[in-house]
Amino acid sequence: EAQVTQNPRYLITVTGKKLTVTCSQNMNHEYMSWYRQDPGLGLRQIYYSMNVEVTDKGDVPEGYKVSRKEKRNFPLILESPSPNQTSLYFCASTRLAAYNEQFFGPGTRLTVL
């Protein structure tokens, strides 16, 4: 089954404790993105990647890092999480065909205390 997976689905942590949210897709998509969703703000792009070892900042990159060492994986790293990073996070990959549809992962609910 074609899908984007994220882990963990839920995470509660404390300020300053490094964490990684994993993202993996099995569709051989070149493009992958991370978004955060906050009430009243919709989805905002954090980082994106066009291929292995090619990443760039989105609209809200502060406090986040990413890496793309393999085509299928695109982890999101919070080296020193803060309460303002409490949010719902989505990973997505893009199919380069007609309509350029994005496929989303199931989301990760992160709470930083």
Partner 1 sequence: AQTVTQSQPEMSVQEAETVTLSCTYDTSENNYYLFWYKQPPSRQMILVIRQEAYKQQNATENRFSVNFQKAAKSFSLKISDSQLGDTAMYFCAFMKLYNFNKFYFGSGTKLNVKP
Which residues are near partner 1 by CB under 8 A?
A: 31, 33, 35, 40-45, 48-50, 56, 88, 90, 92, 94, 96, 99-102, 104, 106-107
Minimum gap (Å) between residue 20 Cβ and partner 1: 20
Give the pairing type, strands 76-78 and 10-13. unpaired
Cβ proximity to partner 1: between 38 and 79 the closer is 38
Cβ proximity to partner 1: between 7 and 102 the closer is 102
Cβ proximity to partner 1: between 44 and 65 the closer is 44
Minimum gap (Å) between residue 16 Cβ and partner 1: 27
Beta strands, E only, 1-113: 4-7, 10-13, 19-25, 31-38, 42-51, 54-57, 65-66, 76-78, 87-94, 102-104, 108-112
Residue 28 φ/ψ region, left for φ over 0, alpha for ψ in the -120 to 50 degree band, beta for the rest: left
Minimum gap (Å) between residue 76 Cβ and partner 1: 15
